[in-house]
Structure 1
């Protein structure tokens, strides 16, 4: 096989062969195969603007172009890809099935270009740039205060963008390249091979309530059958799903989730001011000031525990600032594990002393 780069053609030579006793002479077949030209980054960015705004006119204004110029941009992309990407309707510009698929790749392309520029900048100066991290309640309480304090000492010029929530809320931003890393419990669903999972430490659940809640003296899950609960995140993921499984294992009805919230501040306020209860990581109510406003209901059943992990894209290397932040998270997670181990040993010793006494 030979390639003619000037005419964008490939030449295939078929060897001579004996067929039915006759000698065939070598035959050269020339077939023109059209390859798409290299897509322009500006066209890809313009297409992203259309997807973001849902309108040719709004996207043109956002990009500082005229509507006809943006229409020509879409036409170039569609001619190169041989599919329709955008359809104009009375509601605006709507992406086709191909457009949606192309958008996912387009976002990665523009994100990687931005990250490449940021990486060079951070290599030239460790005191600039930014890092974006998503976190659930447990690492926000147990890891981030010390980690960020150390990070600010190491890289005082780097801006940290912090988003709170469970992993499902961060996954799309990770895949779009808008978030560097996320930290939280490993979800039951939603993980693919494009996301790397790096375990940090184990955490256990408690059932939390306000200090004035009548259910604070309950001693079993059966005592909580009529309770009204606050759910955190989707019911099929997170602490709520683990508690539901615990109820099922003991032959009890699944708890009634009366409120579902992504805001930990709202959850803490509801627990303090109402009779609602919620499954939370133990660490979230052990520190100030929540330890003086919330308590763990002392049920006898052993509640589930789960792994807090660091998540990042598998095929996108972390920028220097994000890489340093990830290193600090692993280091301080080790310290947390050691501290938890010491507390557990002390608890066992205290229990043994009380039995002997």
Structure 2
């Protein structure tokens, strides 16, 4: 595409860009297909193609490369996409604030959850929010640590709840994040309740040599803790190991056969209370870390997001008390 000899200015963009174009562009980015985007938006493919061409003219360069399998963003397309995500997030914030101002407890909050929050903290906070404000839509997304924090930095998520990072995450071209601790948790070793009898006599980690384990995958921050625990206890790395952060999968595996896993104490207690897991009677295993929530620095949360954080703090106060029982 031939480039024009004018500079792009905010006034020029303001006159040429429409919100509907940004929504269509964002959907093409998410689907990687002009046809799928058109179907999702109930438009024709030529209409979607025309919008993309208008945006390419506006930004003076190709935003997508066409392939046999759809479209892939160019470097310019990736640059534009990052900013458009932020703009759409701000528009969602505006819509929520206007709705809240008009007197209805409404809105939409998109929250990412890590393993330490998915069993008790976040579900309890969401339940409390929905009791008071049933009109608030809550969307929950799970994923690896880096993926969730990257989505938070670009505005795809409003909040991430779970274990707070101990160091700066490798998130490039992103906005800074702010982290808030709610409580500290400890690690424990758990087994499935049906197989607890065979492990009830275990009183030290070295006695678990030869026992199958479920471990966090190498890219998980918790894996460093697990590796360090094996080294300091003199326990060799297990030959029979499964790497998984899927809570449902791990619970199923622990119920299926004799196998042990590391788990945050608060999460374990939730499943012990359900009669699914048993916590091995071992000396202090180590610190899991701080559990809390993260938001994008310098960005105001929607009223719905602020309400969820208020419930997170309420639930965390109860959690902190029970951890010392």
Q: Give the TM-score range, shorter chain.
A: 0.7 to 0.9
1:128 matched to 2:106? The reply is yes
Cα RMSD (Å):
2.9
Pairing 1:181-200 to 2, within 5 Å after superposition: 181-188=159-166, 190=169, 194-200=176-182
Stretch moving more, 115-124 or 53-62:
53-62
Q: Which residue of 2 aligns with 1:179?
A: 157
Q: Relative to structure 1, is the Cα distance of residues 256 and 114 closer, same or farther in structure 2, using a 3 angstrom cutoff?
A: farther
- Partner of residue 7 from structure 2, selected from 21, 34, 39: 34
Q: Give the Å deviation of 1:264.
A: 1.6
> Which one has the bigger strand percentage?
1
What number of residue pairs does the alignment pair up? Answer: 310
Change (3 A) 1:98 1:303: same
User: Could you tell me which residue of structure 1 aligns to residue 34 of structure 2?
Assistant: 56
Which residue of structure 2 lines up, in the alignment, with residue 279 of structure 1? 262
Alignment match, 1:320: 303
Task: Measure, in 1, the Cα distance between the counterparts of 2:118 and 2:78.
Answer: 34
Structure 1 segments (4+ residues) deviating >6 Å: none
CA distance in 2 between partners of 1:183 and 1:301 (Å): 25
Task: Give yes or no for the alignment of 1:205 onto 2:187.
Answer: yes
Which residue does 1:159 correspond to in 2?
137
Residue 281 of structure 2 aligns with which residue? 298
Tell whether the 8 Å contact from 1:205 to 1:239 is kept in structure 2 after alignment: no
Match of 1:337 among 306, 313, 320: 320
CA contact (8 A) 2:188 2:285 kept: no
5+ residue gaps, structure 2, are: none
Query: What is residue 21 of structure 1 aligned with on the other side?
Result: none
Please identify, of 41-50 and 141-150, the stretch whose mean Cα deviation from structure 2 is larger: 141-150
How many angstroms apart in 2 are the aligned matches of 1:290 and 1:339? 13
TM-score by length of 2: 0.81
The SS at the match of 1:134 is strand
| Structure 1, unaligned runs of 5 or more | 1-31, 344-357
CA deviation string 1:212-235 (max 9, x = no partner): 253443233222232222234x42
1:225 aligns with 2:209: yes
TM-score relative to the length of structure 1 = 0.75
Number of the residue aligned with 1:244: 227
- Alignment partner of 1:35: what SS? coil
- Which residue in the other structure is 1:18 paired with? none
Q: Structure 2 residue aligned with 1:101, among 65, 74, 79?
A: 79
Quote the offset at 1:267 in angstroms: 1.5
Is 1:116 the counterpart of 2:94 in the alignment? yes
Q: Which residue of 1 aligns with 2:236?
A: 253
